[in-house]
Amino acid sequence: MEATMEKKNIELERLQGVLSRYCLSLTKSRAEAEDLSQDTWVKAMDSAQLPEHANPEAYLLRIARNTWIDRVRRQSTHSRMMDSIRSLAEHQAMTQESRIGTELIMQALLTFLSPLQRTVFLLRDVIGYSAQETALRLGLTTGAVKAALHRARAALPPIRQAVEAGTLPAPKDEGLREVLRTLAIAYEGGDIDAMLTLVQQGDLEPAPALAVLQSRRVRAASNQAPRGRSVPSMQLAS
């Protein structure tokens, strides 16, 4: 038993060494490499696939690479997101412009788009995934992804009009208000997984959506929660 545990510990140390060097080669920064390594381990342990994977090293490096790509995408589109929020919520009193504007846009997305359409829209047009990457993440064909994105983009003009005109009714259900607040916080914090967890749920069932998110966060926290992330971009142009 002790020999088996020692063997596992040696393998984990080896994997950590390989992962640390790879993260440093990606980020060129020791601080960012440590953060990326931590995020990678959290995602790997949360997926529960690492112990059974045929090639744990390749699995970890793939997670690290995809996580870094997501982070770079979010950082590169931050200013565009802020411009979009301001232009779409310009009729609002902007003392709390980021949060108010974000909640308003999220409400419009929940109102006008189906769960699949808004999920694909966020992955493709906000986060910057390719059609193939989106299909792999959602377990769909690229054709289904393209069709959902086409429908989502077709709905953007009325979404933009509703936001600018302020015609969306204030949500009366506390559960829905909490979903919108949580979405805004996740969006501003760059928590893509939380955003996708919420928008994939039916908009008329906020309690289950929050329960799913809370369950995911509890699992992640048990593996040491990742540090702060950057913000993705939301484009609601036609």
pLDDT at 231: 41
| Domain range summary for the chain, segments of one domain joined by + | 2-76, 78-222
Distance CA 165, CA 99 (A): 18
The stretches of the chain forming alpha helices (DSSP H) are: 2-27, 30-47, 56-76, 78-88, 97-112, 115-121, 131-138, 142-154, 156-165, 174-188, 192-199, 206-222
pLDDT in tens, 167-182: 888 877 777 888 888 8
Closest Cα partner for 236 from 182, 178, 162, 185? 162
Neighbours of 11 (CB within 10 A): 12
pLDDT in tens, 54-99: 788 888 999 999 888 877 776 655 455 445 444 544 444 443 445 6
Measure CA of the first residue to CA of the last residue in the chain; give whole Å.
Answer: 62
Closest Cα partner for 83 from 60, 105, 55? 105
Cβ neighbours for 104, distance < 8 A, ≥ 6 positions apart: 88, 89, 92, 163, 168
Question: What architecture is the 2-76 domain classified under in CATH?
Answer: Orthogonal Bundle (1.10)
* pTM listed for this prediction: 0.54
pLDDT at 31: 87
The Cβ-side half-sphere exposure at 78, using a 13 Å CA radius, reads 12
Regions of the chain where pLDDT drops below 70: 1-4, 48, 51, 74-99, 202-238
